[in-house]
Structure 1
Amino acid sequence: MNMALFPDVVVNHETIPSAAIAAEAQNHSAPKDKPGIAWRKAAQALAIRALLLQEARARALEAEPEELAPGRVETEDEALIRALLDAALTIAPVTEEVIRTEWAKGPDRYRSSPLWDVSHILCACDPRDDAERAMASARAEAVLARLGGDAKGFALAARESDCGSKAAGGHLGQLGPGDTVPEFEAALRTLEEGKITPTPVLSRHGWHIIRLNATAPGQVLPYETVRPKIAQALEKAAWARASRDFIETLAKGAQITGASLAPI
């Protein structure tokens, strides 16, 4: 990225250099052919950060870093921003009526996890090795071609699997969300009972041919079970709205060049 094409950001006479914005841009997604989007997101994030830190210092707040996780402690700037938001934002408690209203919009949204009874054939490889990946792909395609979409011969074909499950005809048993790699789970969610994946699925283990033997959809959970989750989600949404409103108020009274706080 040519930083000369992108200006420094200035927030109330405080300059955020383009080098800092370029470093921050690595943390923001954008299409490969549109690096300017990542830059604008980074410039916006740093401008907001500067606004909040300026306000915290104007209020003479003190930073008291907290441990976020084992080995992960807030920076002083993070602690200062947290202290500011704690002092500036007033979030009304979420009432029982509001929680029930949200739940009533669609009780079937709150379900226990589904279960999938699954079998697979694995053609193992290191997907980072182009040659190895290509060879395993060709092998998986050949196995799939022999099956011809007929799931009945799956157990026989599974004898060629590189997974220990081949001794059980490729049967993996019942799986739930998070029990397997994301690519495998994503494929499961698109399959109908008794069907196999139309093309092999690549994961960090290699190429999978997957058969969904049966599925048990999650059951609708009672209100009392999901109430804490709904309340937490509503509280987070309220906090996010209050934060946006507070930042907009600060921005209206600030002088900002080189960045826009409008949604990107």
Structure 2
Amino acid sequence: MSLSVHPRKVSKKPFPLEPLLPPPVPRSNYFHFQEEKQRLQINKFLLDRIFLVAKTTAGTEKKDITEYYEQVFQSIMKHHLKEAVTGLLLIYHTFILHILESSSGTLYRILLDYVNHDKNKEEFFIQGMKIIVVSHNIPTRVFMQWYVSVIKVPVIYLEDVTQSESLEEVITEFLTQIHKLALYFFKTVKVGSKGPGDNLHQAVPELLLPEEIIRYLHNSEEFIDPETFLNIYNKPMHVTLDSDVVWPAPSQF
């Protein structure tokens, strides 16, 4: 029995040529980078903390501020169920101090909502917000809930302090007092309770920052506003150089 061998057909189609230009490098920003980290974790997310100061317009009441933030939190929770917001909102006579703890994506959307309101033609009752400190990937929450307290103390103008001390010294005092106040909440306020309410200035007056310190930080040009922060946050992490888009690569003679 003989076997017939058929000659193998060779394709006459030319091999595809590789493109002359290098493949595009995927561009991303810090916000997408953080969200990708969160997607890689099951039911977990990186925890961030942010310190904010702002000025309130005349006639602004506690109800106006609390209802605004509660609506923002509820709107975000519809899409991020397990990323609860905790922290502390201190409402002074004309300024507020706000500490927020949550995922970077949630804090991003809280700042974005403020920026959208701030750009509105109608005057928003929270003005001139400044970001004092942002702490990424903190080990644990300090505040178990989101607490609100009105500080009912007379305004004391500490010109001798804010003019004699440097910004670094004021920031050190600011963070030290906030840390002590946070420890007080952590140790004494039970989960599920409403907290000290508007009697915080009576319970621990020695732990409260004077409003003049908040005013000083608000007026300092060294701190950026949320819009500037978000622009930096969304800026691509990779910079496209001329050599990435020019082909062939430039050479020296």
Q: TM-score, normalised by structure 1?
A: 0.19
Q: TM-score, normalised by structure 2?
A: 0.20
Looking at secondary structure, tell me which structure has more helix per residue. 1
